[in-house]
Amino acid sequence: MNHLKRTRATICLATLTALALGTVNLAGAQTKRRPRPVYYSVAANTVMRARIDTELNSQKAHVGDTFSSTLVDPVYSKNGVMLAPQGSKVMGRVTSVQRAGKNGEPATMDVQFVSIRLPNGVHTAINGSLADLSTSNATSDNEGTVSAKRTSHRKVKFIGGGAAGGAVIGAIAGGGKGALIGAGVGAVAGLIGGRVKKGHEVKVTSGTEFGVILNRAFSLRAYKAT
């Protein structure tokens, strides 16, 4: 009788051991079959075309204020994988505001772009600066991705100008003191050289398009809509 009990106990133990080993092997097989996520990168100096969602005004803006803009064109990795579709949100932050001066100096506003959120809810941090889309120092490929050739684009700011006080995009030539360059900025300089009057404030109206140049590369998985 004792021998029979020992035999049954041995069989039960062997069965439990086999089941346990099978479970471990199954879990291991499932782990091996689970593919690792593949990430693709967007290179530094890539310029993303964006359209601002809400107005920015140098009379009301303060350092630290946040704003959103919308991608006009999709963003692709360097090997052609779409990572951010049209309509993705690019979040920005005001980093400096200089209001217009009574001596004719136009207002200036500097911004930084800090994150991008896709329509499927995925988001990631970025490090981007304002760029002028009209510059001749940029090239585009057949997928609409624009790349800047010179790092001096990071000196670009919003500058007040025009009869209606609308924003123009310009930079300090050579990255230091010098003439303003960019669409419409020549007219602003002309005002300063004429009679003394208060300069124009920056007013970036909703729908204004501009470039976001990446200071550093960032990575995302291939976009999939939910």
Q: What is the pLDDT of residue 157?
A: 86
What is the overall mean pLDDT for the chain?
A: 75
Q: What is the pLDDT of residue 207?
A: 92
Q: Is 122 helix (H, G, I), strand (E, B) or coil?
A: coil
Q: What is the pLDDT of residue 159?
A: 87
Statement: residue 173 has pLDDT above 90: no
What number does CATH give the domain 39-221? 2.40.128.260
Q: Is 219 helix (H, G, I), strand (E, B) or coil?
A: strand
% the chain with pLDDT above 70: 62
Statement: residue 158 has pLDDT above 90: no
Q: Is 184 left (phi over 0), alpha (psi -120 to 50) or beta?
A: left
DSSP assignment string, 125-145: EEEEEEE-TT-SSEEE-TTS-
Q: Is 118 exposed, middle or buried (0-12, 13-18, 19+ CB in 10 A)?
A: buried
What is the Cα–Cα distance from 202 to 98, expressed in whole angstroms? Answer: 9
Q: What is the pLDDT of residue 32?
A: 62
Tokens of 207: 């729908």
What is the Cα–Cα distance from 173 to 125, expressed in whole angstroms? Answer: 30
Statement: residue 5 has pLDDT above 60: no
CA separation (Å) from 211 to 10, 28, 71, 101?
A: 74, 48, 10, 27
Rounded to 5 degrees, what are φ and ψ at 193? Answer: -75, -15
Tokens of 89: 């949100």
**Residues 175-188 pLDDT 10s:** 443 334 444 444 33
Domain ranges of the chain: 1-34, 39-221
Statement: residue 98 has pLDDT above 60: yes
**Residues 12-47 pLDDT 10s:** 555 555 555 555 454 555 556 778 889 999 999 999
Mean pLDDT value across residues 74-79:
92
